[in-house]
């Protein structure tokens, strides 16, 4: 995954893309067939039509059923799809300029391996190659590496964000048992960042047992991930005084959305400027008296440069947030289809690439087998049976949450510039929702928090990226780009399971056939010679007294041997 993030060579990326899928997903295909059968059996025993319906139960809410939820997901995708298609057209055009020898001028699909991510689910790692303007935006990675000694200091900065809102400090148990690095030795360890609630029923939240586990690096990306994971921990702490049955998010997407909401504030250029100033000030970051309010943001005097930085920032966010939506949308749609089909058609890989091509406009860098390859199995959430639609829901809700909190904290600011750091009013509004946990239906919670009955809506995410969409419209028009791509092209990228002959096989077969022809010809003439000699002997009333033997040596040469006949050998 790290290679895919930093490497740019087309062929090297192709090698790692294909090798990882051969070493992971391909090996579990047969097990996945069994898995579908078993999961559907479990669903049937629990009175569900299939495992897909069972997975969707957390989104039921009163008379709002799973069909209503799936319909809402379709509406949300259709609302955000035009922006994604414009982003796709822009990125494809930029990549054609970089990979002139590899991506044809009339190509409509983006090869999956050149987007900076093993699964092409988010594209922020290619930001520097496709950014609109040659101006730099704040990135604190270098400051983190040069100014902090321990990754725990990033957690102190994250904790400070939440305490500035009037939310919980992390517990002593949390700090003492925080896992930030892969353990030594032969221990198996999953580096995927995760927040854990140990369901302490004896202590209050301030003394409860909560954990974050990840392999943290001193990068801006992990700095933001730490805030997102601590957002999950704050959620867990907030509802931890509820009965056990209610100690959960309002729905799986809510829990993920809280982390994303925090990330939208932390990733603003203003917030990162303050963090950069703090890192370079020799201030003790883990001091309880520390506050970012003591540090100023960098003020850009030139209006044009400020506008270019704004578009660059929104492009980087879109490469992460907008590019991710179709992937989060199709991963579970594909699995719902498999559950519904119940192994009647096991061309799982063909179904997967049909979605990726039609919805994402992404193509495999090499042809794939429709059945024996199993590319989605290379994704952690598929291999470990984690439903994924929660991340699509979170991708929408986080912008609704962020907009509301910004209306409370800084109603005059643009949504993409808003940082709620230090707003006790925003913190109180957020905490009220988090404390509810799963004790109230999620649609009612959303209505209470937003103060309106809009439900899940794409309006706020589209408002956030409106300046970028205006830029993309101009770029596409000026470059005469075609937006969108042809549908139902999956057959062009599939190999025939029945015919896959290596290039050397026809050569070997040809040589063998040639040798057989030579042998047959030689045998024919040898046989003719023997018959002729036999006829001559019979005419004279005798026989030759010799036995003719023919043999073919290992090099393909024919040797003929004549020897006296042993009259005693039958």
Q: Would you call 422 helix, strand, or coil by DSSP?
A: coil
Instruction: Please report how many Cα atoms fall inside a 13 Å half-sphere around the Cα of residue 328, on the Cβ side.
Output: 24
Q: Strand ranges (DSSP E) for 291-423?
A: 362-363
Residue (of 177, 176, 295, 271) closest to 220 by Cα position: 271
Q: Would you call 558 helix, strand, or coil by DSSP?
A: strand
**What span, in angstroms and rounded, lies between the C-alpha atoms of 266 and 261?**
9
β-sheet bridge partners, residue 226:
none
CB 168 within 8 A of CB 208: no
Residue 116 CA, distance from chain mean position: 11
Instruction: Please report how many Cα atoms fall inside a 13 Å half-sphere around the Cα of residue 406, on the Cβ side.
Output: 22
List the binding residues for chloride. Answer: 64, 390
Parallel/antiparallel/unpaired status of strands 362-363 and 546-552: unpaired
List the binding residues. Answer: 64, 232, 256, 390
Exposed / middle / buried, residue 390 (Cβ in 10 Å: 0-12, 13-18, 19+): buried
CB 329 within 8 A of CB 77: yes
Q: Interior CA angle at 266 toward 260 and 272, to 5°?
A: 150
Q: Would you call 1 helix, strand, or coil by DSSP?
A: coil
List the binding residues for Zn(2+). Answer: 232, 256
What is Dmax (Cα atoms) for the chain?
126
Alpha helices in 25-151 (DSSP H): 29-45, 51-55, 66-98, 127-130, 141-147
C-alpha pair distances (Å), 359 with each of 173, 353, 557: 45, 10, 61
**What span, in angstroms and rounded, lies between the C-alpha atoms of 498 and 500?**
7
């Amino acid at each position: 995954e790290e290679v895919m993030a930093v490497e740019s060579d087309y062929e090297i990326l192709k090698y790692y893309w294909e090798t990882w899928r051969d070493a992971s997903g391909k090996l579990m295909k047969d097990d996945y067939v069994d898995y579908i059968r078993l999961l559907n059996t479990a669903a049937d025993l629990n009175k569900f039509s299939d495992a897909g319906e069972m997975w969707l139960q957390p989104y039921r809410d009163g008379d709002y059923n799973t069909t209503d939820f799936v319909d809402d997901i379709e509406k949300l995708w259709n609302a955000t799809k035009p922006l994604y298609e414009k982003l796709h057209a822009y990125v494809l055009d930029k990549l054609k300029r970089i990979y002139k020898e590899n991506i044809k001028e009339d190509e409509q699909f983006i090869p999956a391996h050149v987007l900076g991510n093993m699964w092409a689910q988010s594209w922020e790692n290619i930001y520097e190659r496709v950014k609109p303007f040659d101006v730099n935006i704040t990135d604190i990675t270098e400051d983190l590496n040069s100014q902090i000694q321990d990754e725990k200091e990033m957690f102190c900065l994250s904790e400070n964000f939440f305490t500035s809102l009037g939310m919980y400090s992390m517990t002593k148990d949390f700090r003492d048992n925080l896992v930030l690095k892969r353990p030594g030795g032969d221990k198996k360890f999953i580096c995927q960042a995760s927040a854990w609630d140990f369901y302490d029923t004896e202590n209050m939240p301030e003394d409860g047992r909560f954990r974050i586990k990840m392999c943290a690096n001193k990068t801006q990306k992990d700095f933001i991930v730490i805030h997102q994971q601590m957002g999950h921990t704050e959620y867990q702490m907030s509802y931890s005084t509820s009965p056990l049955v209610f100690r959960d998010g309002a729905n799986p997407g809510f829990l993920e959305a809280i982390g994303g909401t925090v990330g939208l504030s932390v990733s603003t250029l203003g917030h990162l400027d303050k963090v950069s100033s703090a890192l370079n000030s020799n201030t003790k970051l883990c001091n309880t008296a520390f506050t970012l309010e003591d540090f100023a943001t960098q003020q850009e005097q030139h209006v044009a440069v400020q506008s270019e930085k704004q578009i660059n920032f929104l492009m980087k966010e879109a490469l992460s947030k907008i590019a991710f939506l179709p992937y989060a949308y199709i991963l579970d749609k594909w699995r719902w289809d498999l559950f519904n089909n119940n192994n009647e058609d096991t061309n799982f890989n063909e179904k997967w690439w049909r979605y990726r091509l039609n919805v994402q406009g992404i193509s495999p860098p090499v042809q794939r087998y429709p059945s024996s390859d199993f590319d989605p199995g290379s994704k952690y959430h598929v291999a470990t049976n984690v439903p994924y639609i929660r991340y699509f829901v979170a991708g929408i809700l986080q912008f609704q949450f962020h907009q509301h909190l910004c209306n409370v904290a800084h109603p005059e600011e643009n949504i993409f510039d808003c940082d709620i750091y230090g707003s006790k009013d925003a913190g109180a509004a957020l905490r009220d929702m988090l404390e509810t946990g799963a004790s109230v239906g999620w649609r009612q919670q959303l209505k209470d928090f937003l103060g309106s009955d809009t439900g899940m809506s794409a309006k706020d995410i589209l408002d956030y990226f409106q300046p970028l969409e205006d830029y993309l419209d101009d770029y596409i028009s000026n470059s005469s780009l075609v937006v969108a791509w042809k549908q139902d092209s999956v057959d062009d990228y599939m190999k025939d399971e029945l015919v896959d002959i290596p290039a050397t096989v026809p050569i070997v077969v040809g040589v063998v056939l040639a040798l057989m022809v030579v042998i047959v010809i030689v045998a024919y003439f040898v046989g003719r010679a023997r018959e002729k000699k036999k006829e001559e002997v019979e005419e004279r009333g005798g026989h030759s007294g010799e036995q003719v033997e023919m043999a073919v040596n290992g090099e393909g040469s024919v040797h003929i041997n004549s020897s006296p006949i042993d009259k005693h050998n039958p």
